[in-house]
Amino acid sequence: VTHITDPARSALMKSVKQRNTVPEVLVRRILFSLGLRFRLHRADLPGSPDIVLSTKNAVIFVHGCFWHRHPSCKLASNPKSNLVFWEDKFEKNIARDRKKAAQLRRLGWRVLTVWECETRRPEKLKRRLAKFFCASLEHV
Q: Quick one: which segment of 6-14, 34-42, 44-52, 64-72 binds Zn ion (CB under 5 A)?
A: 64-72
Cα 104 versus chain centre, distance: 14
Burial, 119: exposed, middle or buried (Cβ in 10 Å; 0-12, 13-18, 19+)?
Answer: buried
State the minimum distance, in angstroms, from the CB of residue 68 to Zn ion.
Answer: 9
Binding mask 4-43 for Zn ion (x = CB under 5 A): ----------------------------------------
Binders of Zn ion: how many residues, by CB under 5 A?
A: 6
Give the nearer residue to Zn ion in terms of CB position, either 38 or 66: 66
Rounded CA gap, 103 and 113, in Å?
15
Listed in sequence order, the DSSP H helices in 16-121 are 22-33, 65-68, 83-106
Taking the CB of residue 74, how many other CB atoms lie within 10 A of it? 8
Sites for Zn ion among residues 65-124 (CB under 5 A): 65, 70, 73, 75, 115, 117
Give the nearer residue to Zn ion in terms of CB position, either 69 or 127: 69
Question: Is 93 within 8 Å of 68 (Cβ atoms)?
Answer: yes
Give the nearer residue to Zn ion in terms of CB position, either 12 or 73: 73
The binding site for Zn ion (CB under 5 A) comprises 65, 70, 73, 75, 115, 117
